[in-house]
Amino acid sequence: MTDTIEIDRLHKLYGNRIALHELDLHVRTGTVFGLIGPNGAGKTTTLRTLVDIIRPSSGTVRILGGDPRHGGATLRRRIGYVPGELHLEGRASGHRMLSFYAQVSGGRDSDVTLRTARDLADRLGVDLTRPVRTLSKGNKQKVGLIQAFMHRPELLILDEPTSGLDPLVQREFLQMVREARDAGQTVLLSSHVLSEIQQTADEVAVLANGRVVADGDVASLRLGSIRRVRAEIATTDAAAARPEFDRLPGLTGLDVHDADGILHLSGTIDGAIDPFIKALAPFEVRDLTVEEPDLEESVLRLYGDAPASASPSASPTPATRRTRRARMEQR
Ligand code: ATP
């Protein structure tokens, strides 16, 4: 079976700035694929190329077996798309706007599509009777998600779909993504929040400076292994306790300061968290925070050998070399 998305050697220049550098990316049918990367990595450019809002400088793009440039309305009906920056300013109510989309998108019976839209509105908690321009940013985003999902398209292309959503709604949305996959739909979603990719995606590609710097199944990527930790420890003898922390396993960038008998310590753990937690056990721990660092920090720490700035002469990263080699072997 051919892949639902086939991107080969996609190159995009804005003037003389390289936004995408010979990008290769294939998404298997019926899977969720996560595209992650820091700001400016090229995620939006990639997704816009797939829906023919942007034309490639070179390279080929195929979705659902067709060329987005020539697929026209027939191909677009098979896709649900949420843009990164959603502008909904019309006077029409959410319901009216979605009815219009249900009619023009055809395919499924528009009554069935609208029923799905109402169900999704209930799940996400948005009032479709209000004019869309009066909705808050998060509620507009919900309407955008509903218009992408309601006709049950074969392919969902979602650019930072959870931006502006509160955590409960984000969780509901991630469930919608899993249900779409279970129904055989293919989902490509971009994010700079690592955890939401980890919760939904089967495969992931990490973009930095317009290149794939790592790709594979979610578990095989080490991105999730880096965590920032902060602890507050009560002690009567800070000077005696301090050397203990220098020996805490897996901890780098340790910073310790004493404030009125409470030691504040922070650092980064690369790898298993368990030895660190156990090493804290003898102390009186007043507070403990373990969080994922921002994606830029993770990408730079783990894949810091990626070229700092995409330029025509920059050498390929191991990941692009690998995909290029795979392509050569297929020939
Ligand atoms: P973010 O997470 O901030 O949305 P992104 O990964 O989606 O970032 P893109 O928006 O695809 O990144 O941008 C990739 C690169 O292309 C960036 O360096 C950006 O400045 C540049 N770029 C994007 N759109 C344009 C444009 N219309 N004109 C010139 N440069 C652009």
CATH number at residue 252: 3.30.70.260
Q: Is residue 90 part of a domain?
A: yes
**pTM score of the predicted model:** 0.79
Ligand 1 atom having least distance to the Cα of 47? 11
Asked if 203 and 59 sit in the same domain, the reply is yes
The pLDDT, as a whole number, for residue 309 is 35
The pLDDT, as a whole number, for residue 297 is 66
Is residue 43 within 6 Å of ligand 1 at its C-beta?
yes
Distance between Cα 41 and ligand 1 center (Å):
7
Residue nearest to atom 25 of ligand 1 (CA): 14
Domain end point (choices 178, 195, 221): 221
Q: Which residues of the chain have pLDDT under 70?
A: 1, 106-108, 220-224, 293-331
Q: Is residue 315 part of a domain?
A: no
Q: CATH number of the domain that 140 lies in?
A: 3.40.50.300
The pLDDT, as a whole number, for residue 106 is 63
The pLDDT, as a whole number, for residue 249 is 72
The pLDDT, as a whole number, for residue 161 is 95
Asked if 279 and 162 sit in the same domain, the reply is no
Is residue 34 within 6 Å of ligand 1 at its C-beta?
no
Distance between Cα 214 and ligand 1 center (Å):
19
The pLDDT, as a whole number, for residue 108 is 67
Asked if 72 and 166 sit in the same domain, the reply is yes
**Ligand 1 pocket test target in 10, 18, 44 with most atoms within 8 Å of CB:** 44
Are the C-beta atoms of residues 41 and 84 closer than 8 Å to each other?
no
Asked if 131 and 148 sit in the same domain, the reply is yes
R_g of the chain, CA atoms, integer Å: 23
The pLDDT, as a whole number, for residue 307 is 43
- Half-sphere exposure of residue 265, counting CA atoms within 13 Å on the CB side? 27
The pLDDT, as a whole number, for residue 295 is 63
Which residues make beta-bridge pairs with 288?
231
Alpha-carbon distance of 289 to 58, in angstroms, equals: 46
Domain housing 264: 226-291
